[in-house]
């Protein structure tokens, strides 16, 4: 049984008197039993092509081809002459997910006969990446976030707003950083084929407009979630389990030469890798370890279900239960604050490291993000 005497709420005010207007992110407040997180179910998928056009199908799916344990993949190859980079100054907000919802709303329609036509039978619609940021918040010391929330037809839509400091960093990346961001995509090209029977083509063009996205439904405690996330590839074995259990997440990371470096991987990188893949139920991450020249020298598989055991040997390490309990409390906080049901209203939740989550309310502002076409389609 839960020990209610020791269960402190994260809802606080600056003075320590409970006013419920902000949410604490202190780790100690979220160390309790793991909340109910239902096995995520894939309810659909969509693809974005080389020009970022939406398709309600899996045409951009790729197939994982197991590389040599000690390959010599040159991740710098093609950066100058075979790279088409997505324009990340274009903010797509929830648009692609909303397109998917419009094309698949029969799958989501409320079973309550009296419910309005716009009722979706979920509490939250968002990107997996936004939830990843929530999961890692109690351990994040560098980057804050802003999340815009609109309640519409009873559903809460969550869409990220770029912070001032994130915009500054994006506009002032060094040439080295720009190139290193390419390395992750180049690793995908070395390990993924376009069809079940094909092989990877390291001589092709890397185009980061292309994406295959899964759409999953699940529940965190009493929060019914619908979210989408980009998936790198799937196992090609026809005997492989159905999605999302056949999906594989690909990562690159600096080569590990010392116990200290291994410890840092566990303490910092595995937190992000775990959060990103645990949410949609992707069972494994394949990591390519590269040297300073961008050559992958070894490949290792990390099973998501084993990561919590791996990190238990680290002193003062992150805990999955803290991540999930914080996310759950944040969603409860949002439900309690974002009460007015209107596409014109945005509740803007903001967080900076070492501070509490706060919010502000905006009507007909620059923050509104539900497009007119969505409002019209869904209320038809």
Residues that bind ligand A3P in the complex, under the rule CB under 6 A: 181, 183-185, 187, 232, 251-252
> Is 183 or 374 the residue whose CB approaches ligand A3P more closely?
183
Nearer to Mg ion, 129 or 153 (CB): 129
Query: Under 8 Å CB-to-CB from 101, ≥6 apart: which residues?
Result: 108, 120, 125, 226, 374, 378
Nearest residue (CB) to Mg ion, 210 versus 232: 232
Interacting partner of 181 out of Mg ion, ligand A3P, none (Cβ under 5 to 8 A depending on kind):
ligand A3P
Least Å distance, CB 26 to ligand A3P, is 25
Residue 374 binding result from ligand A3P, Mg ion, none, given CB thresholds of 5 to 8 Å by partner type: none
Residue nearest to ligand A3P (CB): 184
**Nearer Cβ to ligand A3P, position 178 or 364?**
178
How far apart CA 280 and CA 273 sit, in angstroms, is 12
Query: Which residue, 250 or 357, has its beta carbon nearer to Mg ion?
Result: 250
CA distances for 67 relative to 141, 188, 239, angstroms: 35, 11, 20
Please report the DSSP string for 241-295 in residue order.
Answer: PSTTTTEEEEEEEEPP-SHHHHHHIIIIIHHHHHHHHHTTT--EEEEEEE-TTSE
List all residues 6 or more positions away from 258 whose beta carbon is below 8 Å from its beta carbon. none
Q: Which is nearer to Mg ion, 223 or 251 (CB)?
A: 251
Q: Pick from ligand A3P, Mg ion, none: which does 140 bind, CB < 5 to 8 A by kind? A: none
155's contact among ligand A3P, Mg ion, none, with CB below 5 to 8 A by partner kind, is none
Give the nearest distance from C-beta 333 to ligand A3P in angstroms. Answer: 25
- Residue identified by tokens 């076409």 is 373
The structure tokens listed for 216 are: 């999953």
Measured from the CB of residue 187, what is the shortest distance to ligand A3P in angstroms? 6
Longest CA pairwise span in the chain (Å):
63
Compute the least distance from the CB of residue 255 to ligand A3P, in Å: 13
In which order are the strands placed within the sheet that holds 41-48?
Answer: 54-55, 41-48, 211-220, 223-230, 124-127, 155-161, 145-152, 345-351, 358-363
Q: Which is nearer to Mg ion, 250 or 328 (CB)?
A: 250
CB of 180 to ligand A3P, least distance (A): 7
Q: Tell me the two tokens of residue 18.
A: 């409970």
Residues that bind Mg ion (CB under 5 A): 230, 232, 250
**Of 255, 260, 307, nearest to 282 (Cα)?**
307
Nearer of residues 133 and 343 to ligand A3P, judged by Cβ: 133
CB of residue 131 vs ligand A3P: minimum separation in angstroms?
Answer: 13
Question: What gap in Å lies between CA 353 and CA 62, rounded to an integer?
Answer: 37
**Least distance from C-beta 164 to Mg ion, angstroms?**
26
Cβ distance to ligand A3P smaller for residue 109 or 170:
170
Q: Based on the number of CB atoms within 10 Å of its own CB, is 35 exposed (0-12), middle (13-18) or buried (19 or more)? A: middle
Of Mg ion, ligand A3P, none, which one sits near residue 356, judging by CB under 5 to 8 A according to partner kind? none
Question: Does residue 267 have a cis peptide bond before it, meaning omega lies within 30 degrees of 0?
Answer: no
Query: 12 with 24: CB under 8 angstroms?
Result: yes
Number of neighbours of residue 222 by Cβ within 10 angstroms: 12
Helix/strand/coil for 361: strand
The CB-of-232 to ligand A3P minimum distance in angstroms stands at 5
**Nearest-approach distance from CB 277 to ligand A3P, in angstroms:** 10
Q: Which partner from the list Mg ion, ligand A3P, none does 185 bind, CB cut-off 5 to 8 Å by kind?
A: ligand A3P
């Amino acid at each position: 049984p839960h020990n209610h005497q020791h269960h402190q709420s994260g809802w606080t005010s600056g003075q320590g008197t409970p006013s419920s207007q902000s949410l604490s992110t202190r780790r100690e407040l979220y160390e309790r039993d793991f909340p109910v997180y239902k096995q995520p179910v894939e309810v659909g998928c969509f693809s974005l092509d080389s020009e970022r056009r939406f398709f309600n199908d899996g045409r951009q799916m790729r197939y994982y081809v197991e590389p040599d344990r000690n390959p010599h993949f040159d991740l710098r190859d093609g950066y100058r002459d075979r790279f088409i980079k997505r324009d990340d100054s274009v903010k797509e907000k929830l648009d692609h997910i909303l397109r998917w919802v419009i094309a698949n709303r029969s799958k989501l329609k409320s079973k309550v006969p009296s419910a309005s036509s716009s009722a979706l039978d979920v509490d939250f619609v968002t990107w997996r990446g936004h939830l990843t940021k929530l999961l890692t918040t109690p351990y994040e010391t560098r980057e804050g976030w802003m999340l815009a929330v609109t309640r519409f037809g009873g559903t809460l839509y969550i869409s990220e707003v770029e912070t001032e400091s994130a915009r500054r960093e994006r506009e002032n990346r060094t040439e080295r950083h720009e190139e290193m961001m390419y390395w992750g995509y180049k690793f995908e090209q070395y390990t993924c084929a376009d069809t079940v029977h094909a092989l990877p083509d390291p001589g092709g063009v890397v185009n980061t407009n292309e994406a295959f996205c899964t759409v999953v439904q699940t529940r965190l405690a009493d929060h019914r979630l619908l979210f989408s996330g980009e998936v790198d590839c799937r196992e090609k074995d026809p005997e492989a389990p159905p999605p999302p259990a056949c999906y594989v997440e690909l990562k690159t990371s600096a080569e590990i030469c010392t116990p200290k470096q291994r410890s840092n991987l566990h303490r910092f990188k595995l937190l992000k890798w775990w959060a990103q893949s645990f949410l949609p139920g992707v069972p494994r991450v394949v990591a390519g370890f590269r040297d300073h020249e961008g050559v992958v020298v070894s490949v290792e598989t990390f099973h998501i279900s084993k990561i919590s055991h791996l990190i238990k040997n680290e002193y003062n390490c992150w805990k999955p239960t803290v991540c999930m309990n914080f996310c759950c409390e944040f969603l409860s906080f949002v439900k309690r604050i974002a009460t007015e049901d209107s596409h014109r209203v945005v509740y803007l939740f903001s967080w900076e490291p070492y501070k509490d989550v706060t919010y502000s309310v905006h009507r007909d502002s620059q923050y509104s993000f539900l497009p007119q076409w969505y409002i019209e389609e869904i209320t038809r």
